[in-house]
Amino acid sequence: MSNLLFKKWNDFSGWIVFLIAAFVYGMTIEPTASFWDCPEFISCAEKLQVGHPPGAPFYMLVGNLFTQFASDTSQVSYLVNFLNALLSAGCILFLFWSITRLVKSLVINDEKNLSTTNVIIILGSGFVGALAYTFSDTFWFSAVEGEVYAFSSFLTALVFWMILRWQDESDLIYGDRWLILIAYIVGLSIGVHLLNLLCIPAIVLVFYYQKYRVVSFKGVIAAVAISGLLIVFILFIYIPGMADMGGWFELLFVNMFGLPFHTGLLIFLALTFFVQTGAIYRFRKRIVHTSLWCLLMLTVGYTTYAVILIRANANTPLNENAPDNIFTLKSYLNREQYESAPLLYGKTYASEPEYVAEGDYYRVKTAKGSAVYRPDKEEGKYKIIRYKEDVCYTRNMLFPRMWNERMTSSYKNWTGGSDIAPTQKENLTYFITYQLNYMYWRYFLWNFVGRQNDVQGSGEPEHGNWITGITWLDNLRLGDQNLLPESLRQNKGHNVFYGLPLLLGLFGIYWQWNRSQKGKQQFSVLFFLFFMTGLAIVLYLNQTPGQPRERDYAYAGSFYAFAIWIGIGAAGLCNTLCQRTTSTVHVGALMMICLLVPIQMASQTWDDHDRSARFTCRDFGANYLMTLPDKGNPIIFCNGDNDTFPLWYNQDTEEVRRDARVCNLSYAQTDWYIYQQQCPLYDAPGLPISWNKNQYQEGKNEYVVIRPELKKQIEELYRKHPEEARDSFGKDPFEVKNILKYWVFSEKDEFHVIPTDTINIHIDKEAVLRSGIMLPKAIRHLKGEELKEAIPDKLCIPLKDVRMLTKVDLLILEMLANCNWERPLYLAISVGSISKLKFDDYFVQEGLAFRFTPFNYKKWGDADENRPYAVDVERLYDNVMNRYKYGGLDTPGLYLDETTLRTCWYHRRLFAQLAKELIAQGDKVCAKKVLAYAEQAVPAYNVPETHESGTYEIATAYVALGEKMKAILLTEHLIAEAEDYINWAFSLKGNRIEMVRNDCLYKFWQWNQYNELLKNIDEKKYKESNQRLEDKYALFTPTMNYKN
Amino acid sequence: MKSKMMKQKETETLFGRGNYMILLIGSALIIAGYLLMSGEGSTPAAYNPDIFSGLRIKVAPIVCLAGYLMNIFGILYRSKRSQLFQCFPCVHHHQNE
């Protein structure tokens, strides 16, 4: 076959693979937003808003184009996901062409004609490698949702292919265009995700091998070092340097010359381009000329960040960090809001801040950093609001891996350390066992060997481990997998490949390396791609234990590199066969067998990546909003990704409940967020925060100390000089408004304290009655004046055991006071404790959120030890039965990942709670109706019946209703879950039992609970179950004393 | 694929007039797009629905994107004349991929 014909076949095959991948991903995309950051990205793309740092402006532009094809609001997310599916298919396309290029140069030596056998080997290897990656876990996961990683993978594939393509024309000056194009794409890719910069070492190596006929080991080292410097230059010198210079120009033109904001920046940009194009015109020597072009196009690609700057100035609803000027933009780009880990030398979890004496006190020693400028809109100038301060720590160490003091006990779990300060040995143990093995190699093995289930693991043997599918091997490592509880056995995330993809890839490495010098060169290129996009990231991130989710998506680039090796492995096998037989058919057959590997992978991974027909994220987000009353412009507090972004998405894109406001407490500490919350949005007025910018600006009132001893002094003052006192501190000095006005925001510094141990909020009784808040049972029957009398005059919030109030605490108090009950204020149930202040007794649960009320329900008897929160049964019923949607949960065969499942559990538990309340009220008919609907809305076939999912509460409700059959069914199911776990635990070897000891105890406890329930309905079954429990427990106790 | 017939002269330029034109148009589109995108926003006084006007979030981003994509063209574009002067028998090879 001539080269020309081969090229045509190569092109054609590539597009076939593209179509296969596009079809697979298109069929399995989520039809709406997904959990975590996706709803944010989708809303930002559609309306060009500013998401979390460092933003992804180029992704926004491309995503925006796709969203314009939506014919109604619900299609917007579908289209963004579809964009990602196409981009992922594009990545597969370039993967195919990359593999065929590499294999061709290993197998052919400049011949004019290719034998059929060789064509089969080359194209076949492309198919095997590309399809193996198509059906791999991590890549597929990112391909079907609206995150940035699909786009980033596409750009990585594109750039890598381009440098290979450049090799065809490297001698011609025309070939330099590929290098310039690569620089441009890299610039654009920074507007998607920084991951793309990690390709640079591989690219530089290809360049080095191509350009230098004589290659040496030293040369390779030098090339890699230069590429590292290149990354450092772009990331830490060029970009921050440009931002800094932009800042200087701004200060010059705005502060000095009095011109409007951004003049300096624009002049700086114009100057930069002028200088760069001038340099290109001036310098003609090829290396310099091309390098300057590369720099210019890199900068042009980087200008996508103008989107962020421009839209931040438009103060869009989603405007994180409000990077509307060059200074804030710089800190946005540097991701300064996220804690950064030390790398080479720094603190450990045992490090204490250094203290220095200052007068009578000791204060923390800090290294003063640069000035922080912010625009003062009134004066039209930039002002310094504070200086950066870095705390100095004691007891630093080299290469610290355990640096976060909040994670101390988790670190010690991984190292077994019990000393105060970590030794270097413990440090490295943690690095290897957790950061490398658990948080990287485990993901690698998921993709190419097998995965136990899709439950997030933190080291335990039953969740999220890698497995092979070879029974005796897996059982040796992780206990008898067949004994695991049904919910884990049936988990769709269970995928086994018997290690075949791994073996193919390893053989590929072996064969490539032994394929003369060219093979070794190729190996080094792929190795650096693999290393930089995998292990290097692990080194850089320095992760703490207790991550909120599995992080395999970050390493997709290294799996891409390995997929190339898989393709090469297939080529290697066939080529080896080729030496022994001349039969094309034999080679073809072997290639077909290799193709079975990706096909087998697909058979395993399809069920846990098919997200079609799943609308849970959108519907659950809407449910939070629908919990709020329809009138009064309610406000809901939330604090994470999954209870905030789906709500924002619903409001922004699907136009649901635009009369409500969503306030994320994690951001509420920042001045830009407080400002945004004060602005009206859509149909809702701003939040009732009366502070001005000076009072809540960064650095001001971050926390206020509580001085309860002052209370007595103030009371004295009021006794002795009542008139004066009232003039100075208001009628009730301990009322929220007065404390804020006269103390926290006082002009005098020494008044910046909370001078009491109890804060009051005065209650407007009329407003309470108008608000529709559930009245305590004890006073519900009262009317008119009697009712008013019964309502307390004020709400007293004790500050016992609290040493200071943070800005967020003050904000919540301010809003409580100003909302005045008629503007409903809610807290999502997903929020843990929001502050040290205890509001729990004042909450009434109405669904997925608690409402703040002036009534201490504990005191009124509506809440007690058995019922931690008062429940508004009417509202809960209306919400759960009528207003909430369940996202197609009843579709059989739906795939639900762990995050979605957890939110399903919230809903099931609400059903159970509602039923329990109705039974307590004596309304058994309604309760039955509720439970019947629960069975249908949150069905067992999709949401497994486990303890965490609320099944126990449902079973209890059935017992109370006298529904014996249903109760027994559920209880036996729950017992099986607990008992199976214990049986499996017994099958663990050696010290693995240590690991699960506490969980086992917990299962025994659960089993006992179930038995107690069983006692009331089936004496016989109870006796059997109880006997089994006692037997098993007797076997268990020896292991309990094992280490003691 | 690399023909020994043709020797690269240092005076052979990397880009031709066509490239500069396309790059210039691309850059102009980018700037125009950003100008169309700019504007005022909401304040504590009132919500400003203009931040989501068709011009700013539908037309402007397309103009910007067109500019960025056009630059790719601008880099890769190769006028017919320069192609003929280059590798004569190899011209087909460079056409694909």
Is-contact A927 A918, C-beta < 8 A? yes
pLDDT at A713: 87
Q: Give tens-digit pLDDT for A32-41.
A: 999 999 999 9
- Span A156-208, pLDDT tens digits: 999 999 999 999 999 888 899 999 999 999 999 999 999 999 999 999 999 99
Mean pLDDT computed over B4-24: 71
Q: Which two tokens stand for residue A491?
A: 């988990």
Distance separating alpha carbons of residues A192 and A194, to the nearest angstrom: 7
Q: Which of A165, A172, A307 faces B86 most closely, judged by CB atoms?
A: A172
ipTM for the complex shown: 0.91
Instruction: Determine the pLDDT at residue B3.
Output: 44
B8, B11, B64: which to substitute to probe chain A, counting the most A Cβ within 10 Å? Answer: B64
Element (H, E) at A384: strand A381-391
End-to-end CA distance of chain A: 74
A61/B61 touch (CB, cutoff 8 Å), yes or no: yes
Cβ–Cβ below 8 Å for A65 and B51: no
Please state, as a whole number, how many other Cβ atoms lie within 10 Å of the Cβ of residue A437: 12
**Predicted confidence band of residue B93 (pLDDT cuts 50, 70, 90):** very low
Nearest to A181 among B30, B72, B94 (CB): B72
pLDDT value at residue B8: 46
Model confidence band, residue A866 (pLDDT cutoffs 50, 70, 90): confident
What is the structure's pLDDT at A109?
81
What are the strands, taking DSSP E only, across A201-313?
none
Mark yes or no for CB contact A181/B42 under 8 Å: no
Residue B94's pLDDT band (cuts 50, 70, 90)? very low
Residue A863 has a pLDDT of: 85
Report the pLDDT averaged over residues A537-566: 95
Instruction: Give every CB contact of residue A292 below 8 A, 6+ residues apart in sequence.
Output: A276, A279, A280, A283
3-state helix, strand and coil shares in percent for chain B, rounded to the nearest 5: 60, 0, 40
Q: Are strands A804-806 and A825-828 parallel, antiparallel or unpaired?
A: unpaired
pLDDT higher than 70, residue B80: no
- Residue A856: how many other CB atoms lie within 10 Å: 18
Taking residues A381-389, what's their average pLDDT? 88
User: pLDDT (tens digit, 9 = 90+) per residue, A422-468?
Assistant: 889 999 999 999 999 999 999 999 999 999 999 999 999 999 999 99
Residue B86 in this model has a pLDDT that exceeds 70? no
Given a cut of 80, whether residue A1040 has pLDDT beyond it is no
Give A112-155 pLDDT, tens digit per residue.
788 889 999 999 999 999 999 999 999 999 999 999 999 999 99
Preceding omega of A722 cis (within 30 degrees of 0): no
Contact A61 B58 (CB under 8 A): no
Q: Is the pLDDT of residue B5 over 70?
A: no
Kindly indicate the confidence band of residue A836, based on its pLDDT and cuts at 50, 70 and 90: confident
Task: Tell me the residues of chain A between 137 and 166 that have a Cβ less than 8 Å away from chain B.
Answer: 165
pLDDT-derived band at A1041 (thresholds 50, 70, 90) equals low
Say if residue A344's pLDDT is above 60. Answer: yes
- Inform me whether the pLDDT recorded for A575 exceeds 90: yes
- Burial class from Cβ neighbours inside 10 Å (0-12, 13-18, 19+) for residue A328 reads buried
**Does the CB of A65 have a partner CB in chain B at under 8 Å?**
yes
**A355-369, A537-551, A577-591, A773-787: range with lowest mean pLDDT:** A355-369
Whose CA is closest to A685, among A624, A650, A633?
A633
pLDDT over 90 (residue B35): yes
- The residues with which A969 forms a beta bridge, in sequence order, are none
Q: What are phi and psi of A611, to 5 degrees?
A: -100, 15
Quick one: closest CA in B to A101, which residue?
B97
pLDDT above 90 (res B4):
no
DSSP characters for A999-1019?
HHHHHHHHHHHHHHHHHTT-H
Give the Cα separation of A3 and A9 in Å (integer): 10
Quote the percentage of chain A above a pLDDT of 90: 71
How confident is the model over A305-316, as pLDDT tens digits?
Answer: 999 999 999 999
How many angstroms away from the CA of A818 is the closest CA of chain B?
A: 16
**Does the CB of A169 have a partner CB in chain B at under 8 Å?**
yes
Strands A495-496 and A450-451: what pairing? Answer: antiparallel
pLDDT in tens, A816-826: 999 999 999 99
Confidence (pLDDT) at B46: 85
Q: What is the mean pLDDT of residues A682-703?
A: 88
Does the structure show a pLDDT above 80 at A382?
Answer: yes
- Chain A residues touching residue B76 (CB < 8 angstroms): 177, 181
Specify the pLDDT at position B81: 60
Residue A243: pLDDT over 80: yes
pLDDT at A1025 over 70: yes
Q: What is the pLDDT of residue A1042?
A: 52
Q: Residue B6: pLDDT above 70?
A: no
Look at A680 and B86 and tell me if their CB atoms are within 8 Å: no
Task: State the count of interchain CB pairs (< 8 A) between A and B.
Answer: 123
B46 touches chain A (CB under 8 A): yes
Query: How many angstroms separate the Cα of A765 from the Cα of each of A238, A738, A790, A855, A859?
Result: 61, 20, 10, 11, 18
B1 touches chain A (CB under 8 A): yes
Average pLDDT of the segment spanning A404-424: 85
pLDDT for B90 equals 45
pLDDT of B11 > 50? The answer is no
Say if residues A660 and A634 touch (Cβ distance below 8 Å): yes
Task: Give the closest-approach CA distance of A673 to chain B in angstroms.
Answer: 12
Q: Closest partner residue to A168 among B1, B46, B48, by Cβ?
A: B1
pLDDT at A730: 83
Q: Do B30 and A301 touch (CB under 8 A)?
A: no
**DSSP bridge pairs for A368:** A389
**Pairwise CB contact (< 8 Å): B97 & A289:** no
Q: Nearest chain B Cα to A174, which residue?
A: B14
pLDDT, residue B87, reads 47
Decide if pLDDT at A962 tops 80.
yes
Instruction: Indicate the SS3 state at residue A703.
Output: strand
- Token pair for A818: 């100003």
Residue A911: name the closest of A863, A941, A943, A866 by CA.
A943
Contact B64 A307 (CB under 8 A): yes
pLDDT above 90 (res A361) = no
Nearest chain B residue to A301, by CA: B68
Residue A927: which pLDDT band, with cuts at 50, 70 and 90? Answer: very high
What integer pLDDT is reported at residue B85 of this predicted model? 53
